[in-house]
Chain A
């Protein structure tokens, strides 16, 4: 189960994710981002209520980061301990901007 809510304003997008970003739900986010990122120069992902991420979710984050590197910036905020450990284990801490 993943809930995605987003606000897009003047080239800035804020995504708030709630639930699990896994093999089943990651394609929802991927599809959403595919259309939404056009013209976006600042992407913020709020993980305050994201409980879980698997490699399928990491794949979507990596893809979003690659897109945003070309057109602006991306940051992830409010990452919980469990997800932070996954970012550390996978070296994603070096790729992502986490605040």
Chain B
């Protein structure tokens, strides 16, 4: 089976969220990936894409490139998000404190925290003027 690798470059905007998610869903739809895992991957795509849309180029907008690759006989999804915005390492962000009363709970950092929990690996590097965030998820 040929490895599948597809790439999408779009403006990182809230309006393009559905396009980003549909792109990734289209790559994994042909695999045996359970529905729940697909939802979790969509969630990670939203959290990362919206982070780029909100902060990478603010107050301007810019492009994001998403690469979706199926490896190991379609048992492993490797997603890469690249942007040319300000350098930002979400992996280094401290995890939110989940054990505080509701009045003190804050929502900041929850998106990247969920992404780290959902995915099997999250790797960040700044390379050639680009933020490169790689997410890996076992599909079976």
Q: Contact between B18 and A24 (Cβ–Cβ < 8 Å)?
A: yes
* Most-contacted residue by chain A among B17, B102, B118 (CB, 10 A): B102
* Most-contacted residue by chain B among A22, A51, A58, A62 (CB, 10 A): A22
Closest Cβ–Cβ distance, residue B138 to chain A (whole Å): 16
Closest Cβ–Cβ distance, residue B118 to chain A (whole Å): 7
Q: Contact between A90 and B103 (Cβ–Cβ < 8 Å)?
A: no
Does A3 have its Cβ within 8 Å of any Cβ on chain B? no
Q: Contact between B17 and A24 (Cβ–Cβ < 8 Å)?
A: yes
- Residues from chain A with Cβ under 8 Å of B50 in the complex: 23, 54, 56
Q: Contact between A82 and B113 (Cβ–Cβ < 8 Å)?
A: no
Q: What 1/0 flags go to A9-51 for Cβ under 8 Å of B?
A: 0000000000000111000000000000000000000000001
Partner among A52, A65, A81 whose Cβ is within 8 Å of the Cβ of B102: A65
Known: A62-B102, A69-B102, A89-B117. A23 touches B36 (CB 8 A): no
Q: Contact between A66 and B103 (Cβ–Cβ < 8 Å)?
A: yes
Q: Contact between B107 and A59 (Cβ–Cβ < 8 Å)?
A: yes
Q: Contact between A54 and B102 (Cβ–Cβ < 8 Å)?
A: no
- Residues from chain B with Cβ under 8 Å of A54 in the complex: 43, 46-47, 50, 111
Interface size on B, residues (CB 8 A): 25
Q: Contact between A86 and B102 (Cβ–Cβ < 8 Å)?
A: no
Partner among B36, B99, B105, B118 whose Cβ is within 8 Å of the Cβ of A62: B105
Closest Cβ–Cβ distance, residue B64 to chain A (whole Å): 14
Q: Contact between A89 and B107 (Cβ–Cβ < 8 Å)?
A: no
- Residues from chain A with Cβ under 8 Å of B14 in the complex: 23-24
Cα A55 to Cα B44 with chains together (Å): 10
Closest 5 CB pairs of A and B: A91-B98, A55-B111, A59-B107, A55-B110, A82-B39
Using A22-B46, A91-B98 as known contacts, list a sample of 11 further A-B pairs with CB atoms less than 8 Å apart, ordered by residue number in A. Answer: A23-B14, A51-B39, A55-B47, A55-B107, A55-B111, A66-B103, A81-B36, A82-B40, A90-B110, A94-B98, A95-B102
Can you give 6 contacting A-B residue pairs, CB < 8 Å? A23-B14, A24-B15, A55-B47, A86-B43, A89-B118, A90-B113
